């Protein structure tokens, strides 16, 4: 899980891809968006996002639950942009991840983000 979070923090698209299911299974659930299904859709979203170099992403794993084939992790994410519409922007999120063990390796198969607090909430 930490490898996945580090890949996002470092905008490392290849490292991110290595944490994705080789079977193509993925669900990306973001506030205000339809579900993005598939690893290809997830990677397309992240390639576009990673092309912007102004943001920062800090993650802390809060808890995990690991079974034989399925696991889950919950992380607190602090996403920041130095400027959005003329002001600093942040979005503190809680993100739950589901993982599946395939041939002895864990892969992320679901990313569900919920915003807890955004700088724009105070406007």
The predicted pLDDT at position 123 comes to 62
**7: Cβ contacts below 8 Å, ≥ 6 apart:** 13, 15, 16, 18, 19
pLDDT band at 122 (very low <50, low <70, confident <90, very high): confident
Q: Does domain 2-122 have CATH number 3.10.450.50?
A: yes
- The H or E element containing residue 92 is strand 87-102
Could you give the CA distance from residue 62 to residue 83 in angstroms, rounded to a whole number? 28
- The H or E element containing residue 59 is strand 56-66
CB atoms within 10 A of CB 114: 11
pLDDT in tens, 33-57: 999 999 999 999 999 999 998 999 9
The predicted pLDDT at position 45 comes to 97
Residue 108 CA, distance from chain mean position: 10
Over the chain, what is the mean pLDDT? 96
The predicted pLDDT at position 114 comes to 96
């Amino acid at each position: 899980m930490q490898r996945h979070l580090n890949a996002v923090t470092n905008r490392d698209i290849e490292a991110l891809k290595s944490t994705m299911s080789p079977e193509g299974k993925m669900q990306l659930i973001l506030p205000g968006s339809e579900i993005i299904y598939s690893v290809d859709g997830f990677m397309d979203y992240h390639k576009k996002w990673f092309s912007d170099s102004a943001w920062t992403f800090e993650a802390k794993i809060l808890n995990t639950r690991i079974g034989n084939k399925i696991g889950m992790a919950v992380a607190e994410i602090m996403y920041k942009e130095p400027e959005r519409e003329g002001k600093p922007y942040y979005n503190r999120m809680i993100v739950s991840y589901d993982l599946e063990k395939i041939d002895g390796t864990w892969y992320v198969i679901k990313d569900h983000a919920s915003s807890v607090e955004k700088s724009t909430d105070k406007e």
